[in-house]
A and B are shown apart, each in its own frame.
Chain A
Amino acid sequence: MIPIQYYLLFAGFLFSVGLVGVLIRRNAIVVFMCIEIMLNSVNLTFVTFSAYLGDATGQIVVFFVMTVAAAEAAVGLAIIISLFRNKQTLNINEINLLKW
């Protein structure tokens, strides 16, 4: 059996990749994908603990997260499409109208 540390390290690594991606990438779709990576790293942690503790709760939460992520993907992509139609760009630094 693979020790729990590996799973957790892998999940942490995935989360960091996603976080750095969100911080440094400019393309809205890539940022979006990075967020998905972060969500899935958390899912992985949940499943890991679920398996190790023999408790199904973690897995149930994963289903919730997946559902929400799917809904969020739909809404997010819709926003991205309408943003692109309006500004002909997906560079999030150029999408900065909402400010004082």
Chain B
Amino acid sequence: MVSMYQFIGLIPLFPLIGFLINGLLGSKIKSEKIIGSISVLAVSLSFLVSTFIFFEMINLPTEERLKIVTLFSWINVGSINVDISYQIDQLSILMTLIITGVGSLIHIYATGYMHGDSGYWRFFAYLNLFIFTMLNLVLADNFLLMFLGWEGVGLCSYLLIGFWYDRDFENSTTSVAAKKAFIVNRIGDFGFLIAMFLIVQEFGSLQFLSVFSQASVIPSGDKILTAITLLLFLGATGKSAQIPLFVWLPDAMAGPTPVSALIHAATMVTAGVYLLARSSTMFILAPITMDVVAVIGICTAVFAGTIALVQNDIKKILAYSTLSQLGFMFLACGVGAFSVGVFHLMTHAFFKALLFLGAGAIIHSLHHEQNIQKMGGLKKYLPKTAATFFIAAFAISGIPPLSGFFSKDEILWKAFSSGSIWLWLFGIIGACLTAFYIFRLVTLVFNGEERFDEDLHPKEVPSAMTIPLIILAVLSAIGGLIGIPHFLGGSNKFEEFLEPIFKRANYQLPIAHDEIFMEYLLMSISVALAVGGILFARHLYLKDNSIAEKISKKYNYGYKLLFNKYFVDEFYDKVVVNPIKNFSDSVLWKKLDVKIIDEFINASGRITEYLSSLFVKIQTGVTDTYVLIFVMGVVLILLRMII
């Protein structure tokens, strides 16, 4: 039988072809149908191939599931060999399925959402390019190819945030937001790069398998390993928008909503979690890094959750929610429960993509209104969107048996059993905040009185947009069932599937004793808090928000702080951005550039000018003079030869 494994190259190839066709010929193709179909087809073919590979994989015995397929040699310098080769294993195929699966749905959705946009072909070309680079990121078998994908998704993110480059966005333009995303990511990439240099120096290779097998024999707490993992984590904080590099993600909402769903919620921002999961062998040996990861994760989760409580822009709330959920994933990784982190990554991809697409449908039907204070009562106009949105909201709040419940609860349990009550405590606070802010959003948007303009007449979005919503709703609802933990009578297929990837990492962990009673207790607490959060939000916002307004008046100072996002952007502007700008302006530009570099260039020109002025008189233009000088020259040479 032919193994599907050898066709792995097709998975990134299809989106690349789609990108080339739409990117090069898109402006000539007038029909939106053709452009959309090419793009959707490219991604869904990739999804098909990944599904085949996935089913072949689960039929193979565990030890035969890992395979490396080398397409061609890329860099061969000295002892460093880097190939364009893909590593097919449980983790990479799972990520591939999420990317191409959710990606296909969002592509289909986008054909409806972007209808009539002048940059239709450009949009789909970028979207295909994104899928291509993201697949390279997750399939790569070495750090360098992964980094190539890492940078590629950053580029696509930049292009798509600034897609509507002529539109205003929050007192500036979308291109400013795009630039911000790109530059903040660059700081993280710097960490990733340095980490790669250290890896080459230490292990002499960039290949995952070789690096990890060498790293696994290093004693725990090694300095170099701590440095490498901390720097890799810096890269992850950039791409996955964690404290301190999270500021770009809320601004990334300047892009079209399908982009927010695909790149800034479901796939690209989870690359950091993937990086940690992939390098789990190294992280587990650096306890300091693990603590940092867990603390940063939980801080981001709570921090972003509180900001989301009071925001009014529907996409902003979801963006902060994404930050918060990513924080939960990092918390899981930080306590060593990598497979749980990846599990939450998957369920989050479903329900957050659904939330964003639902938000897109709302924005679409209200002609680009994004303020939830100007919505309300949309349930009867958008029945399908509302129904799916509610499912997603329940899933993200962690209400059983929806997907978010299993993953989030597992994270909280692992945080608790890792021995830190604080991580768990902040974890359930974060979970409670999640339930509150998402139901504040849902209630303000779908229930209550209609606060939008009367002449808007919102109506349900076309089926190209509702079908992906429904599919994602089904996935959000049942997606968690593959990871039912043992104590609930499930078999936790998910963890079992990923087990070989994290074998080395799990080996290092203290074995958590399953205390069934504690698990039930903690689970009940977190569910109770989630329900409490939901009920509280319903109570505050269902009728009218006079109570909520009273509270915000009473705690005016705190409300202002949250509403202005803790003034982090202003702080960064004051402390980092403006000093750098001023320094560049007054020193680098006006002193170094104008006074020193330019003067060097001018001086070399002036010296040449002076030297030539000495001899310029010889060139008279009169032939006689030339001949005379020539003859004199010949005579001189002859005399020299004779004498």
A→B interface (CB under 8 Å): 19, 22-23, 31, 92-93, 95-100
Do B621 and A97 have beta carbons less than 8 Å apart? yes
Contacts of B60 in A (CB 8 A): none
Do A92 and B621 have beta carbons less than 8 Å apart? no
Instruction: Tell which of A23, A31, A98, A100 touches B628, judged by Cβ atoms closer than 8 Å.
Output: A23
Do B631 and A93 have beta carbons less than 8 Å apart? no
A-B contact pairs, 15 of them (CB 8 A): A19-B631, A23-B624, A23-B628, A92-B622, A92-B623, A93-B622, A93-B623, A93-B624, A96-B620, A96-B621, A96-B622, A96-B623, A98-B621, A99-B620, A100-B619
Instruction: Tell me if B641 counts as interface (CB < 8 A to partner A).
Output: no
Do B624 and A99 have beta carbons less than 8 Å apart? no
Minimal Cβ-Cβ distance residue in A for B613: A100
Contacts of B624 in A (CB 8 A): 23, 92-93
Complexed CA–CA distance, A7 and B631 (Å): 23
Complexed CA–CA distance, A19 and B622 (Å): 17
> How far does the Cβ of B35 sit from chain A's closest Cβ, in whole Å?
60
Contacts of A96 in B (CB 8 A): 620-623
Contacts of B576 in A (CB 8 A): none
Given contacts A23-B631, A98-B621, A100-B619, 18 further A-B contacts (CB under 8 A): A19-B631, A22-B627, A23-B624, A23-B627, A23-B628, A31-B623, A92-B622, A92-B623, A92-B624, A93-B622, A93-B623, A93-B624, A96-B620, A96-B621, A96-B622, A96-B623, A99-B620, A100-B616
Contacts of A22 in B (CB 8 A): 627
The A-B contact count (CB < 8 A) is 25
Contacts of A95 in B (CB 8 A): 623
Contacts of A92 in B (CB 8 A): 622-624
Q: Which label, helix, strand, loop or mixed, suits the secondary structure of the A interface?
A: loop
Complexed CA–CA distance, A22 and B631 (Å): 10
Complexed CA–CA distance, A97 and B631 (Å): 22
B→A interface (CB under 8 Å): 616, 619-624, 627-628, 631
Minimal Cβ-Cβ distance residue in A for B628: A23
Complexed CA–CA distance, A96 and B624 (Å): 10
Do A99 and B627 have beta carbons less than 8 Å apart? no
Complexed CA–CA distance, A93 and B626 (Å): 12
Contacts of B622 in A (CB 8 A): 92-93, 96
Residue in A96, A97, A98, A100 whose Cβ sees the most chain B Cβ within 10 Å: A100
Complexed CA–CA distance, A100 and B609 (Å): 13
Complexed CA–CA distance, A31 and B631 (Å): 15
Complexed CA–CA distance, A96 and B616 (Å): 15
> How far does the Cβ of A47 sit from chain B's closest Cβ, in whole Å?
22
Do B619 and A99 have beta carbons less than 8 Å apart? yes
> How far does the Cβ of A90 sit from chain B's closest Cβ, in whole Å?
12
Complexed CA–CA distance, A99 and B618 (Å): 9
Contacts of B623 in A (CB 8 A): 31, 92-93, 95-96
> How far does the Cβ of B638 sit from chain A's closest Cβ, in whole Å?
13
Contacts of B619 in A (CB 8 A): 99-100
Contacts of A19 in B (CB 8 A): 631
> How far does the Cβ of B208 sit from chain A's closest Cβ, in whole Å?
67
> How far does the Cβ of A83 sit from chain B's closest Cβ, in whole Å?
11
Contacts of B620 in A (CB 8 A): 96, 99
Minimal Cβ-Cβ distance residue in A for B634: A19
Which 5 A-B residue pairings sit nearest by Cβ, starting from the closest? A99-B621, A96-B621, A100-B616, A92-B623, A96-B622
> How far does the Cβ of B527 sit from chain A's closest Cβ, in whole Å?
91
